[in-house]
Amino acid sequence: MNKPEIYFSGPNYLKFLLEDQKESRLPNWTQLSKIPEIKAIKKIVIVDEYSVNPHCLVWKAFNKLELYFSNGTIKYHELNKKEQIKDVQSGEKFYFILTKCGKVYSLASAKNEEKQMAFDEEDLIEIPLSDPQKCSFDELRLVTFFQEKNLFVESITIGSFTNYFLCKNGKLYGSGLGEDGKFGMENIKNNQLPILIHKNVSRVFTGKDSENFFFITTNNELFSCGYNDYGQLGIGNSVHIVDKPVKINIKKDLQIEKTSQILDLKAFSTHSILLTEEGKLYSCGCKDTYGIGENKSKFTQVHKLRNKKIIKIDGGNNHTLILTSKNELYGYGFDQNQNEPTNEYTQGQWQNPQRIKLPKYFLNLNSLLNISCGHYATFIYVNLNHSLKNDFRDLFESRKFSDSKLVCLNSKIDTNPNKKEQNKEISIPIHKTLIELRTSLKINEIQKIINENNLIAEEINSLLKWIYYDETINANIFKQIFQLLKLTYPPENTLKQDLLKLFKDEDSKDFFILVKDDDDDDDEEDEGENEDDDEIEVEEEEIYEELPVHKLILIARCGLFRDMFDNINEIEQNIHQIKDYSGKSIESLEILIKYLYTNKIVFTGDDDVEFIKEELSDSVEYYQLNENSNLIDQLNKNKNNLI
């Protein structure tokens, strides 16, 4: 995968996402070309309904936001580095930005700018600001309601003109058009500012076109409420409005013991679908319109996909997409303009999940795909948030700090004298530790095989892409190389598994981080100490503990050390140790080093979890980790599993 690509599908008015707006193949898959630096994209959300001027918000890296309008305008926003973005969501005409510290920002406009945006007074209820009339897409505005009440928001879920704010203390607040049971409360009025609707809540689910919602309580129970004309609440009946939460029997209906086994749940206008951690898909509601509820008022497993492991579900106004672990995309439903993600299916066929043909770019990729839906639009792209593979991909592409090489022909031997230049030998720089780790072969053994079989640069680079970041895009060449190297095909190990082996191999570690031992800092003075003013004090030598690591890991994963190695002179290139000046404890640094190898934070029973989390809270910035690093997320998961 040389250059990341994003494809989307939807109505023709979304062609503003293309560089050449005249060249549009919608509703079929179309490559998005307007947005630069695709590799840095973390999430895309779009407003494409009830708007004369549709727009799209792109979240890049940690805190960068780019807002694209159909009139060609682009607005750029960036949060303070101390307020790292956790999520972005889109409503009918606005966006929410949630930070990891629990603050909520709003991007919206209630102005009638050049008559391109039409806002009614009712629409303003959806924007939870004290003065929504003053809001603008030019400014990120803090939703002060939660700060005034000393509340910190954990997650935001948006339905049809309704917003749900789940706070870290388990309290659930709602704002917007909350009548008819959409807040699970009787006689509720529409509220611009959030109101408390439930307590002791751990998770919330709804959908973009949904007028109902589901929530899980802290005592492991699943509830639903709202519109239920088609049995889409999964409670066994089709009562018009359910304005009080009704419990769903997960053990009986879903054959699962705990709600923690529910991976995701999406609610739509006539049906709902539920995904378990095992990859099983359940549905309820009506299939005669846009769903696969099989006319059931309780959740039942989707029969056609029972042999597939589902990993992702999403949907829009009247269409739903389902992604499997093998990057197979299924869909059903259609929007009001008949703009399905592909034009190969009729309305009748879409009542059951149908396989959707993907662009060639996504075929044979090892990386997992991601899907993101607007009301009518669908985005599909490679999940680029795997910072481990991204770091080693960057290392491969830069070829910096290489310590060995492989020599091969530039192309196949040709007797034509005019092509002599193409047949010359070239050197491909490599990193010895990684090559020998992944192949279990010495460099000279690989070189011998290259020479005996006249392998060329294209073939070697195909192998190296797998070695560095697990890419196997050219299956024919890849299989041939594996056979020559006598390696198991298809590969049994992933990069992450092999790096875990490297982490455990203490003998091969070739570098030491020296961490200051602070245990002696508080030593008390001896009682018989000479207090003579003329005595010359002798400064004690600082004591450092050695933390072993592979130099390759520091170079690939950590910008701080990479810059250090890049700036030292040739004489110092072979240094084997460096002092750590971060002031962090060796316990915290050991956790961080494990993360650099595995992309996972692992605590032991002896670790002071809160202390380590506090110490490593600035590590992403201090150690200059990949912009897509999930270090903070891993810290917050607070798992107590041993490697």
pLDDT in tens, 77-100: 998 867 878 899 998 888 999 998
Is pTM beyond 0.85? Reply is no
| Burial class of residue 307 (count of CB atoms within 10 Å of its CB; 0-12, 13-18, 19+) | exposed
- In the chain, % helix, strand, coil (3-state, to 5) comes to 25, 30, 45
Using DSSP, state whether 50 is helix, strand or coil.
coil
pLDDT at 415: 54
- Comparing C-alpha atoms, which of 84, 77, 13 is closest to residue 49? 13
Look at the alpha carbons of 296, 300, 305, 306 in this order and tell me if their dihedral is positive or negative.
negative
Interval 551-582: pLDDT, tens: 999 999 998 888 888 877 655 566 788 888 88
Q: Can you say how many angstroms the Cα of residue 476 is from the centroid of all Cα atoms in its chain?
A: 31
The residues with which 247 forms a beta bridge, in sequence order, are 223
Query: What's the pLDDT score for residue 24?
Result: 58
Asked if pLDDT for residue 256 goes beyond 90, the answer is: no
Mean pLDDT on 487-492: 82
* Confidence class for position 162, pLDDT limits 50, 70, 90: very high
The predicted structure's pLDDT at residue 14? 83
Encoding tokens for residue 348? 């009748």
Residue 69: is its pLDDT beyond 70? Answer: yes
User: What's the rounded Cα separation, in Å, for the pair 104 and 120?
Assistant: 24
Most confident among 109-123, 259-273, 560-574 (mean pLDDT):
259-273
The residue with greater pLDDT, 115 or 604, is 604
pLDDT value of residue 114:
37
Q: What tokens appear for 197 in the block?
A: 């609707």
DSSP annotation string for 120-157 = -HHHHTTS--S-GGG--TTS-EE-THHHHTT--EEEEE
Instruction: Tell me what pLDDT residue 308 has.
Output: 92
Residue 533 has pLDDT above 60, yes or no: no
Quickly tell me which residue has 């810290």 as its tokens. Answer: 635
High-pLDDT (> 90) share of the chain, %: 35
- Residue 200 pLDDT class (50, 70, 90 cuts): very high
More reliable by pLDDT, 120 or 154 = 154
How confident is the model at residue 352, as a pLDDT? 74
Is residue 238 within 8 A of residue 230, CB to CB? The reply is yes
* Residue 290, pLDDT above cutoff 50: yes
Q: How far apart are CA 610 and CA 636, in angstroms?
A: 10
Residue 393 pLDDT greater than 90, yes or no = no
> Could you tell me which residue, 632 or 245, shows the higher pLDDT?
245
394 alpha carbon, distance to own chain's centre: 18
Residue type for position 4: P
pLDDT band at 254; cut points 50, 70, 90: confident
Spatial separation of the C-alpha atoms in residues 278 and 253, rounded to whole Å: 16
Q: How far apart are CA 275 and CA 373, in angstroms?
A: 17
In this prediction, residues 502-522 reach a mean pLDDT of 81
Please answer whether residues 374 and 316 qualify as being in contact, where contact means their C-beta atoms are separated by less than 8 angstroms.
yes
pLDDT score for 317: 78
pLDDT on residue 314: 92
pLDDT in tens, 326-360: 889 998 876 444 444 444 434 444 467 888 888 88
Q: For residue 10, is it left (φ>0), alpha (ψ between -120 and 50) or beta?
A: left
